[in-house]
Amino acid sequence: MKPSRRDFITTTAAAVAAMGISPKLFAASKEELAALYDRALVIDTLAFARKWDEEEYKAVEQSGYTGIITSLNRSSLKVALDELLEWHRRVDEEPERFLLALTADDFLAAKQSGRMAVMLNFQNSSMLEGDVDNIDVLYEMGMRCFQLTYNSRNLVGDGSTERTNAGLSDFGLAVVERMNGLGIIVDVSHSGKQTTLDAIHFSRKPIAFTHTMCESLRPGHPRAKEDAALKALADKGGVAGIAALGYFLGKKPGVETTIETYADHIDHAVKVMGIDHVGLATDFPVRGIASWATRENWYEPRLKSFKPVYDVQWPSWIPELDSPDRFRNLLPILDQRGYSTGDMEKLLGQNWFRLFQETIG
């Protein structure tokens, strides 16, 4: 027997409610979604620029971003300090464009003034050079987030592509403790499985996966997080940012892997973690990749620097997410899948803002 409209609505609402989101019955108009986006905090928790030039500035304006967590060179302490100084100079020279994010409220100030807040971050702890006191130095210079490990092992713990799975070292525990005490976000996006679980367990404050994806939908990829890690993160109040890099999400970006696949990863994370613990990220420049990348300057170097298990593909991007309008493009899909206005605002930035309040203060 063909189900009635009432049965369909009841079944759909139950399925949406099971994911932890508020059910809705009517699609929003383009105008309503545009207004939602314009008023929302929009935070991309791993974005940067190939070069901060006029083209990138235009992309920032088009994106409507309230703020980003950016990625700085961490090859040594001196290089890291130079990178922080460079951002201080950039903000001094472009005060109408940028605001350094030293507290959570700086994201509100950026939204109110039409600027973009920038949280200074390193994707590894190698710049500490084995000295936990260097965290204090970097904090004073404006750093508010860093990853415990990148893909390989360091003094803190094992990375996501390391052969072993040893977890945090004693030095790593001291690093996490100092980060908690100062008010620095602990990020384990590139960390190994046990390092990830150790960080969640031992941190006194919620931590972040700033840019990751769901292992259930991308089996075997070292950058993806398993459901157990996603749930453990949520149970401790953390947030996971779903990265928009095409080959992270699936095979053949732009063909088999589309913006709908991105929404699938968001759906899965929400189902496992709850709507209050999922956010958005890219892991590439605000302007995107396609406008400047070639096989020679993007794809081939990554084949050399990443292990085969990384499954780097070319082209690497999803067209609808490669544009600065990426998160605007996402809203109609989320709306069609039953996310309420409040749910979408949480995904766009409110969940990150809550985490920032609880971590950097």
d(CA 351, CA 345): 8
CA distance 89 to 142: 12
Q: Determine the distance from the C-alpha atom of residue 171 to the mean position of all C-alpha atoms in its chain, rounded to a whole number.
A: 26
The confidence band for 3, taking pLDDT boundaries of 50, 70 and 90, is: very low
- As a whole number of angstroms, the distance between CA 164 and CA 152 comes to 10
- DSSP 8-state assignment for residue 126: G
- pLDDT, tens digit (0-9, with 9 covering 90-100), for 120-148: 999 999 999 999 999 999 999 999 999 99
The band of 22, judged by pLDDT with boundaries at 50, 70 and 90, is low
Q: What would the two tokens of residue 289 be?
A: 């990749």
Task: List alpha helices for the chain, DSSP H.
Answer: 5-18, 30-39, 54-63, 77-93, 105-113, 134-140, 170-182, 193-202, 227-235, 246-249, 259-273, 300-305, 319-322, 326-336, 341-345, 351-359
Q: Specify the pairing of strand 116-122 against strand 67-69.
A: parallel
Write out pLDDT tens, residues 211-257: 999 999 999 999 999 999 999 999 999 999 999 999 999 999 999 99
- CA dist 293 and 277 (Å) reads 32
Mean pLDDT in residue range 170-186:
98
Cβ within 8 Å of residue 218, ≥6 positions away: 224, 248, 249, 250, 265
* Secondary structure (3-state) at 133: coil
Mean pLDDT confidence for 261-270: 98
117 backbone dihedrals φ, ψ, rounded to 5°: -75, 140
pLDDT of 15 over the 80 cut: no
Q: With bands split at pLDDT 50, 70 and 90, how would you rate the model's confidence at 185? A: very high
pLDDT at 27: 86
Q: What is the reported pLDDT for 164? A: 95
**Structural element, H or E, at residue 212:** strand 208-214
**What is the tens place of the pLDDT at every residue in 31-83?**
999 999 999 999 999 999 999 999 999 999 999 999 999 999 999 999 999 99
pLDDT value, residue 20: 56
Check pLDDT > 50 for residue 6: no
B/e letters for 198-217, b = 16+ CB within 10 Å, e = fewer, are bbbebbebbbbbbbbbbbbb
Q: To the nearest whole number, what is the mean pLDDT of the chain?
A: 94
Strand, coil or helix: 73: coil
Average pLDDT over residues 189-197: 98
| Tokens 């089996």 -> residue | 219
Q: Residue 2: is its pLDDT beyond 50? A: no
Task: Name the pairing type of β-strands 185-187 and 67-69.
Answer: unpaired
Phi, psi of 290 (to 5 degrees): -60, -30
**Model-level pTM?**
0.93
Q: What is the pLDDT of residues 85-103, one digit of tens each?
A: 999 999 999 999 999 999 9
DSSP per-residue string spanning 277-311:
GEEE--SEETT-STTT--IIIIIHHHHHHS-GGG-
Short-list 121, 166, 124, CA closest to 144: 121
Burial class from Cβ neighbours inside 10 Å (0-12, 13-18, 19+) for residue 332 reads: middle
Domains and CATH numbers, the chain: 34-359 (3.20.20.140)
Q: What is the mean pLDDT of residues 341-356?
A: 98
* pLDDT confidence bin for 23, thresholds 50/70/90: low
Q: Rounded to whole angstroms, what are the CA distances from 168 to 148, 165, 180, 183?
A: 9, 9, 15, 20
Tens of pLDDT, residue by residue over 274-319, are 999 999 999 999 999 999 999 999 999 999 999 999 999 999 999 9
